[in-house]
Amino acid sequence: YIDHNGDIWFATQRGLYIYNPRKDILKEYQQNTENSLYSSRIWDVMEDNSNNMWIATTEGLNRLKPPKFNPVNLGVDKLAPYPIEQVDRNLFITHGNENQLLGFHLTTNEFQTKEIPESIFPIDDFNEEPEYDITDLHFGHPNLWMTYSNRITVFEYPELEVLKTIK
């Protein structure tokens, strides 16, 4: 991810790395202290309109606030390791549990969930359960695009009405 300053953020399974190409400096964040990331296994990075960096890890969600970028743990334990996507100035979304999207309001710091129609998910042949394997989300007003299990579904947002599924 490239932020507004041109710094390059690398999400890895061993921590978060930020490269400043102007100064040729690499900074590292890992889960190693009380005031650190929830986990060193990073899934996604996103910058909001206030230049806060949002870090989705396998164990929870972190916000790095400028100018010091000290991690702020938001108390969301066991947030599934899924991508995060900003919808507008005040809201970003990620995948919650199973057939839910989890929304986080940047102004109120509150979460909300929205149900994804379960009927769009393919059934696993082995255990005969739906496969909730969401790999990416992309918001292109007014639609939300979601990729999963070799499929793409386009939703009207915020109602999450299915517009079409591409297999």
Which residue in 146, 143, 42 sits closest to 94, CA to CA? Answer: 146
State the pLDDT at residue 5.
93
pLDDT at 72: 60
Average pLDDT per block of 10 residues along the chain, 167 residues long = 93 90 91 70 83 80 70 55 67 73 77 83 85 81 85 87 90
pLDDT for 107: 76
Quote the pLDDT of residue 78: 46
d(CA 65, CA 50): 9
pLDDT at 24: 97
Triad 124, 126, 130: Cα angle to 5°: 25
Q: How many CA atoms lie within 13 A of 59 on its CB side?
A: 11
pLDDT at 89 (0 to 100): 65
Q: What is the pLDDT of residue 64?
A: 81
Q: What is the pLDDT of residue 109?
A: 74
The pLDDT, as a whole number, for residue 70 is 62
Give the pLDDT of residue 8.
95
Instruction: Report the side by side order of strands in the sheet with 53-57.
Output: 42-47, 53-57, 61-65, 70-73
